[in-house]
Structure 1
Amino acid sequence: MTVNCRSLGNHQKRNEFNTLIDTHEPHIIHASETHLDKTMSNAELIDTNIYEVYRKDRVFGVGHEGGGVLNLVRKDLLSTAEITLDTDCEICWNKIEIKGSKLLYKGCYYRPPDNNIASIESINTSLTRLTHSNNLPNLVITGDFNMPDIKWEIDEDNNFQVKKPNNYSMETNNKFIEALEENCLTQIVREPTRQDNILDLVLTTNPSSIENISVQDGMSDHNIVITDINLKAKTKKQVPKKVIIYL
């Protein structure tokens, strides 16, 4: 489940977040615009007996409030943080062990709505560490990319087109398209996720693993994206418990 939160900093929003989780019961949650800092513990956000928490909060400063990304993975799945892929942009990575297949690397990303290409260059650096190898990995990256200008249907020349008039510069749009092409990524979402725009994306190196995708009501002015991935994750073995029976 991919969700734009527009702040988990207040009790009501955290209740809405947990209601979405209770409704859809996802194994994995990617949350953007968490607006969290170190004063908020993981236990205040979620039941940490059920979900492993991976988060990257924005370093706050004057004019830089907001942002932040969060990954939640069910604790029965074998997952670990992947800090080697971390860069200066708002991206949080972890990996999940898959039965009979390559690891699944998954990231949650947030791009601020501006013309600064530094965030795109940073995520491209992350991606190339994975994709520039002899064995292309299973990779899924989701989040709020704030790229409303790109038409997600490839034209007759096998290229993406940029809508006009566009919200962001051609350099910004083209830099993002180049990053997708360079890293063999396919964008799956085809329905608007905020008003008439597709802002919340699902990118993958293995589109055949995406079994189903749907856009549904969310908790901010964005819809959520529910993605079914046809990969069987390894699970943790349950440790037998000694039970004393009193007669």
Structure 2
Amino acid sequence: MGDLQLLVDDKKIYIISVTETWGSDKCGDSSYTLSGYNMYRTDLYNGEEAGGTILYIHKSIEYRTCKHLGNKDFESSAWCWIIEKGGKMILVGSIYRSPISSHVNNNLLMEKLKLAYDIAGDNRLLILGDFNVPKIDWTNMNLLQGASRVERKMLEATNDCFLYQHVRKNTRYRNMQSSLLDLIFTREEGDVKNIEVLCPLGKSDHGIVTGNFVSEWKTRAEPKPRRMYHKGNYEKIIEELNCKLIGKQYSKGSLNRKHGTSSKKN
């Protein structure tokens, strides 16, 4: 934890999400303590699958636990409320989804994202973590070739909750390949600025993603509708359009026949 402590002290970071912690009941909190921070910790290590996440909040920030988002369903997430001046709040979450996560657990993640959106209400929302969904083009909000079922569901959940994903650069580097796995979600594009992907710490193959969360409170803009082209039933649309075109052609033919009959009478 020494390298992480030096980094957060140097960068003066107030909110920290650490994922894939490999925590278990055998590891006490002292193994993960950062000086100057309060900690929300969720472990996941069963001998086959490792995960876990920790959310650190600087002690200068007023905060409280978000009990409604406790970790009784989806395997690895930690949540809390940050209290701003005047009593306004930010709901903050740290999430880790394993690349071998089950379909049941993946569905629970989508439900948790939607629940977080509902619980936040008119308050602000900040979700950080490693989601392991590399086949999503977050710039164009499209699925890339070879996208899996969970990536499709993740994109749908993001659209349904009107969330904006801020990270654009790849965050993980292994075997000469890079991918975008570590994400930051908020409700507004302007909520986070100055995103950087720094070099990994220690033996990690994930870069460290940093950014500035704009803490000044502002009236939240109405969500902008996003067209979900990937969910369209295009075969049905084409069938209906063909029917309409045939109907129009038939009507035109009928009109011509009537006109011809009228001409003969004259």
Equivalent residue number for residue 134 of structure 2: 148
The question of whether the paired residues in 2 share the 8 Å contact of 1:113 and 1:146 is answered with yes
Specify which structure has the bigger relative contact order, considering alpha-carbon pairs within 8 angstroms and separated by 6 or more residues: 1
Q: For structure 1, which runs of at least 5 residues remain unmatched after alignment?
A: 1-13, 155-159, 234-247
- In structure 1, the residue matched to 2:98 is 112
Aligned partner (choices 58, 61, 74) of residue 58 of structure 2: 74
Shift of residue 93, structure 1, vs aligned partner: 0.6
> In the alignment, which residue of structure 2 is the partner of 1:19?
6
Cα gap change, 1:134/1:41 in structure 2, threshold over 3 Å: closer, same or farther? closer
CA shift in 2, pair 1:83/1:135, >3 Å: closer
- Structure 1 residues 41, 179: CA separation in 2 closer, same or farther (over 3 Å shift)? same
For the Cα contact (< 8 Å) 2:16–2:56, is it kept in 1?
Answer: yes
Matched, 1:176 2:154: yes
Identity of counterpart residues, as a percentage? 26
Question: Structure 1 residues 38 and 151, CA, compared in 2 at 3 Å: closer, same or farther?
Answer: same
Q: 2:32 maps to which residue?
A: 45
Question: Are the structure 2 counterparts of residues 207 and 98 from structure 1 closer, same or farther at C-alpha, using a change threshold of 3 Å?
Answer: farther
Secondary structure of the equivalent of 2:211?
strand
For structure 2, list consecutive stretches of 5 or more residues without a partner in the other structure.
218-266
Deviations 1:57-85 (A, max 9, x none): 11x32422x20100111111111121211
1:161 aligned onto 2:142: yes
Task: Provide closer, same or farther for how the CA distance between residues 114 and 44 of structure 1 changes in structure 2, counting only shifts above 3 A.
Answer: closer
Paired amino acid for 1:206? E
Which of the two has higher C-alpha Rg?
A: 2
**Following the alignment from structure 1 to structure 2, what is the Cα–Cα distance between the partners of residues 125 and 230?**
27
**Is the Cα contact below 8 Å between 1:131 and 1:137 reproduced in 2?**
no
In proportion to residue count, which structure has more helix?
Answer: 2
1:83 maps to 67
Choose from 56, 63, 66 the match for 2:42. 56
Q: Is the 8 A contact 1:36 1:57 kept in 2?
A: yes
User: What SS class does the counterpart of residue 159 from structure 2 fall into?
Assistant: helix
* TM-score using structure 1 length: 0.77
TM-score, scaled to structure 2: 0.72
Whether the 8 Å CA contact 1:138–1:206 is kept in 2: the answer is no
Specify the alignment match of 1:6 in structure 2.
none
Corresponding residue SS for 1:35: coil
Quickly say closer, same or farther: Cα 1:38–1:230, change in 2 above 3 A. same
| Equivalent position of 1:192 in the other structure | 170
Contact 2:110 2:153 (8 Å CA) reproduced: no
* Distance across 1 between alignment mates of 2:119 and 2:130: 27
Please list the CA deviations of residues 87-109 of structure 1 after superposition, one character each: whole Å capped at 9, or x if unmatched.
Answer: 32311111101124731001111
Shift of 1:217: 1.0
Name the aligned partner's letter for residue 194 of structure 2: N
**Offset, 1:126:** 2.2
Instruction: In structure 2, give the amino acid aligned to 1:221.
Output: D
Task: Indicate whether 1:202 and 2:166 are aligned.
Answer: no
In the TM superposition, residue 232 of structure 1 has moved relative to its aligned partner by 5.2
Secondary structure of 2:51's match?
coil
Q: CA 1:215/1:134 → structure 2, altered by over 3 Å: closer, same or farther?
A: closer
Partner residue of 1:29 out of 8, 13, 16:
16
